[in-house]
Each structure stands twice: as structure tokens, then as C-alpha cells.
Structure 1
Amino acid sequence: MGIVNVTPDSFSDGGAWLSPEAAISHGMALHRDGADLVDVGGESTRPGAQRPS
């Protein structure tokens, strides 16, 4: 399993995958590296984070 966080306040990757192109590229790389499942995180779980609208 691989994870692509697409939130600007991600503590694990610093918002590296914000653009659709970057997120897709990273997801494809995770798949090439053996991930059978890619979890796309679209909502921050950081305490106090704003919910997406």
C-alpha cells in the first residue's frame, strides 16, 4: 500500500503532491515499486485543520 497526501499541510511530505500531475506521478511510482493499493489522502487529520468545502 502506498499513500499520496494531497493536502497543503501534510506533515509527512510537506505538500509535495499538491498538483494533479505530481500526485499522479507519485501514485504511479508507488505502483511500480509494488504498491497494490494507493490511498489518496484528500483531507487533513491535523488537529485544528479546516475541513474541505
Structure 2
Amino acid sequence: MNTDGIFWLGQSAFRIESGGKVLYIDPYMIEDSAKKADIILITHAHFDHCSAEDV
């Protein structure tokens, strides 16, 4: 099943899936069942863009 795409996760968070890889941008309040990240991109250090619990 192809799950490639860009998925808005709320606030400023996105998940991008492509070629079997998973990239998170600004993870914040991500569900416990979230897919494991291959790459995490944090745009800046505000709490809602850089949640230590979600990283």
C-alpha cells in the first residue's frame, strides 16, 4: 500500500512519507501511535515547534 503524501498533524506539525521514509516537521503533540521518524526537521526552538516529548 502506497502511503506517500503530506499529512497535516495539527498546529505546525506535518508528516511527509515518500519512498518508505517518514519525515516529521515541527512535531508537537503527536499521537503515541505515530510512525517512527527517519528524519525530524525543527524550524525553530518555540515549544510548539520543538517538543522534546515528541522528538
Normalised by the length of structure 2, the TM-score is 0.25
- Structure 1 or 2: more strand by fraction: 2
Normalised by the length of structure 1, the TM-score is 0.25
- Structure 1 or 2: more helix by fraction: 1
Q: Greater relative contact order (Cα 8 A, min sep 6): structure 1 or 2? A: 1
